[in-house]
Chains A and B, each alone.
Chain A
Amino acid sequence: MTLTRTKGSAAPPAPPAPRRRPNRHPDDVWAAILLAVPFGGLVIFYLWPLLRTVLLSFSEGTAFTGYTLSGPQNWQQLFEGDDIWRALLNTLVYAAIVLLGVPIAMVVAALLHQRGLRGRSFYRTLYFVPVVTMPVAVAMVWRYIYNGDFGLLNEVLDSVGGPTRAWVADPDTALYAVAAVGIWMALGTNLIILAAGLEAVPETLEEAAMLDGAGPIRRFFSVTVPLLTPSIFLVSVLSVIGSLQMFDLLFIMLGRTNPALADSKTIVYLFYEEAFVRNDRPLGAVIALVTLVVTLAVTAVQFRLQRRWVTYA
């Protein structure tokens, strides 16, 4: 059976171009054999679940009674309540704040990129450590640092005359406090991708600008940033998609009894709560589908806006 292609290609008089015509699908059998397991898993764990989630969102029932299709009342119930709107707003605010980490990462990447800079890999290691650490563990530390009574942050702020409060127990600040940690955690990832982009920027351009008398700041904004826009775009899209998934930080930093929790839930948190704490799977399915819609919409907007500011050399 492996000979099919050889046989076919032997037929026409011209020996080269063995890829043409004879059999466009010489590997059907092998593909079927080798794909059986991967595709089987895909169906069981991803494709079927996708369909099932859509069906569940239009169903009623419980895990014990089973679920029967019943119509759009779950959707109605969700959107008539306040929770989903609150969660949507929180998630978008969170994503927007974490996006502020991208310019920070750009500055750090540009600083690290300077020629002849010593200790580059030392800095890179330190900036990257939060990326490889478990969000749960990191969130615990920050929760402790943010503590209103004996937290380190309040102590530091107090010593410089800044405002002090119970950062993650106060509905006015909890989401922002979590988002600050989000920036802190994502900096390393953003940095790596932007650094890879900077590597691709031709040095001759930087040098030409330098010879023209442009200072480092001018060079950063007039040469580096425009050439880096494709990487900046990639980082921004990934940052937002990642932010829309935020769960771990919130779950740990705001415990279940936290007074700020009700006002600070994100979509995925709401999903977890409805589907696996309250065990309302149909409602959970609706929320899951909402995350899909939001992710697609936000990403589409970003791709739309891309034309205005991203230049592909």
Chain B
Amino acid sequence: MRESSGVRSSRHLMTHVVLMAGALLMVSPFVWQFLTSIKTLGESTRIPPTVLPSSPQWSNYSAFFDVVPVGSMAVNSVLALVLRVVAQLLIASLAAYVFARLRFRFRGPLLACFLIVLMVPPQLFVIPQYEVIRTMGWLNSVQALALPGGFSAFGVFVLYQFMRTLPPELDEAARIDGANPWQIYLRIILPLCRPALAALTILTSLFSWNDLLWPLIVNTIPERMTLPVGLATLQGAQGTDYPVLMAGSLLTILPMVLVFVLLQKQFIRGIAMSGIKA
């Protein structure tokens, strides 16, 4: 505003050049992925590389479905995601509510137990978690994929932080009206937490959809694998069929990218709120 528009637009021109170059770097791998996914095997390994396929090979996408049980893998990924998100929303919000709004004995130490878990690298839990799942007879099941993550100290922390900002008069008024803590949680606090719950849902979905290490360990039968694990084994089995690999990987990232484009604001709020990346 303060500068003449000529100065401003020329400065922004430089900005746009730099930002565009950066954006190109961010996006070009995906473009290459797509172009490769419709090439023939020969085209994908040609030297020098061909940019455009002579005729698009859409059959690579169906080939992906023939090589690995993609259907059941996608179902596993979705079910694990849903179960994990629902479990986490219920369980974490309950714990967060208790810590943020109730006064009880051992509140400090109990809360500390949750927060300690948050600070410990996940590998420390993995071996015994695997043993627990195996003992329950849950290896190669959806609950194995969803369970440890369904109990999430991270979720408790995010919601606890949010619930602490709600005015205490809410609970007090409800109590005078005769509501018990469970009713206050369900009817008053939980509805007010919608933005935090939305952010948590998005972040958890992202973790769950993209996670590799845990699903790789617990579900080893192809029909029980998640998509990322399926992709990883696909690469192991046919590491050189790049068009099919690229078609498959493109398909698996598509749902999250679409969700992101649709819910961008919530995504960004979630990241900014928690500072945690996927």
Contact = CB atoms under 8 A, between A and B. Distances in A.
Nearest to A276: B217
B275 interface: yes
B182 A30 contact: yes
B98 A141 contact: no
B32 A45 contact: no
A25 to B, nearest CB: 5
B19 A112 contact: yes
B236 A44 contact: no
Given A27-B181, A288-B124, A152 B32 contact: yes
Interface residues of B, number: 104
B257 A272 contact: no
A46 B153 contact: yes
A132 B127 contact: no
A5 B130 CA distance: 44
A116 B153 contact: no
Contacts of B246: 140-141, 144
Given A134-B210, A248-B213, A127 B128 contact: no
A133 B268 CA distance: 15
Query: Chain B at the A interface: mostly helix, strand, loop or mixed?
Result: helix
Contacts of B271: 131, 189, 192-193
B277 interface: yes
Interface stretch (A71-79, A238-246, A304-312): A238-246
Given A49-B129, A132-B206, A119 B16 contact: yes
B98 A35 contact: yes
Contacts of A10: none
Interface stretch (B40-48, B53-61, B68-76, B191-199): B40-48
B267 interface: yes
Interface of A: 1-2, 5-6, 18, 24-28, 30-35, 37-39, 41-42, 44-50, 52-53, 56, 108, 111-112, 114-119, 121, 123-138, 140-142, 144-145, 149-152, 155, 158, 184, 186-189, 192-193, 195-196, 207, 210, 216, 234, 238, 242, 244-245, 247-248, 251-252, 255-256, 268, 271-272, 275-276, 281, 284-285, 287-289, 291-292, 295-296
Interface of B: 1-2, 8, 11-12, 15-16, 18-19, 22-23, 25-27, 29-30, 32-33, 36, 44-49, 91-92, 94-95, 97-98, 102-105, 107, 110, 113-114, 117, 119-132, 147-148, 150-151, 153, 156, 172, 175-176, 178-182, 185, 206, 209-210, 212-213, 216-217, 227-228, 231-232, 235-236, 239, 242, 245-246, 249-250, 252-253, 256-257, 259-261, 264, 267-268, 271-272, 275-278
Question: What are the 5 A-B residue pairs with the smallest beta carbon separation, nearest first?
Answer: A41-B151, A49-B128, A137-B249, A31-B104, A38-B95
13 contacts: A31-B102, A38-B156, A39-B110, A42-B113, A47-B113, A49-B128, A50-B120, A128-B267, A134-B228, A184-B26, A193-B275, A238-B275, A255-B235
